[in-house]
Amino acid sequence: MKYTKEEILQQIKGNIIISCQALPEEPLYVEEKSIMYLMARAAKLAGTPCIRTNSVRDVIAIKEETNLPVIGIIKIEYDSYDSYITPTMKEIDELVAAHSDIIALDCTMRQRGDGTTINQFLKEIKEKYPDIVLMADISTYEEGINAWKCGVDFVGTTLSGYTDYSPKIDGPDLELVHKLSQEIDIPVIGEGKIHTPEQAKQMLDAGAYAVVVGSAITRPLVIAQRFMKVIEEA
């Protein structure tokens, strides 16, 4: 089943989207067969209305397991590309073929190896797939405004703190969420460095339409390391 944007908007409003991802260097990554559908199963039982995941195989597996709308991304590194979240049309094509309900991509202003700007890339995507639903992963207010003007459907604060020029804070960028939610007429998705339920609520209070939580729920190594760090420092 593929969901319409209107259906997704109704389901995620004021809610938590859970990100279920495992990269090759992480303990929950299994080469032979992904087990992220099990994490998504738990997320659905907890009540999430939507899943964000990485790779074609996980998009397909999670949609089959949960029947929830899925935000699909593909993380891949290319020479001369600073961006690595769905950076080229190849990844867009693959996520469309996998029936991702929303496709998220890096919409920062960083260097793109093919010489295009993010504005040109977004224009090419929308020309090829007029009905596509896009989420712009951005790191600053200016990037969020730019993506909105380019016609994306959602703006996510995913990359705040992960670009050289965005604020380095150990927690969610509430100021960015608040500023964008006051300025643009599309949903702002609060994402990035949300470590606690209280911080998720703060994101919603700051104006986020919905929030994405990943590492704090679905990355056991990161969770364990956070506990260990506190004990070691004590």
Q: Please, which pLDDT band fits residue 72 given cuts at 50, 70 and 90?
A: very high
**What distance in Å separates the CA atoms of residue 31 and residue 41, rounded to the nearest whole number?**
20
* pLDDT of amino acid 144: 98
Q: What percent of the chain shows pLDDT beyond 70?
A: 100
Q: What is the band of 1 on the pLDDT scale with cuts at 50, 70, 90?
A: confident
Phi, psi of 100, deg, nearest 5: -60, 135
Average pLDDT over residues 126-150: 98
33 pLDDT band, cuts 50/70/90, is confident
Which amino acid is residue 210, in one-letter code? A
What's the number of domains the chain is made of?
1
| Percentage of the chain exceeding pLDDT 90 | 97
Q: What is the DSSP annotation of 51-102?
A: EEEESHHHHHHHHHHH---EEEE-B---TT-S--BS-SHHHHHHHHHTT-SE
Q: Where does the pLDDT of residue 98 fall: very low under 50, low under 70, confident under 90, or very high at 90 and above?
A: very high
pLDDT band (50, 70, 90) for residue 100? very high
Does residue 178 surpass a pLDDT of 90?
yes
Per-residue pLDDT, averaged over 130-150, amounts to 98
Residue 185: what pLDDT? 98
pLDDT of 132 over the 90 cut: yes
Give the pLDDT confidence of 182-221 residue by residue, as tens digits. 999 999 999 999 999 999 999 999 999 999 999 999 999 9
Q: Which residues pair with 71 in a beta bridge?
A: 52, 102
CATH number of the domain enclosing 214: 3.20.20.70
Mean pLDDT of the chain: 97
By residue range, what is the domain housing residue 210? 5-233
Q: How many residues does the chain have?
A: 234
> Is-contact 162 140, C-beta < 8 A?
no
Q: What is the pTM of this model?
A: 0.96
One-letter identity of residue 70: V
At residue 138 the predicted structure's pLDDT band, cuts being 50, 70 and 90, is very high
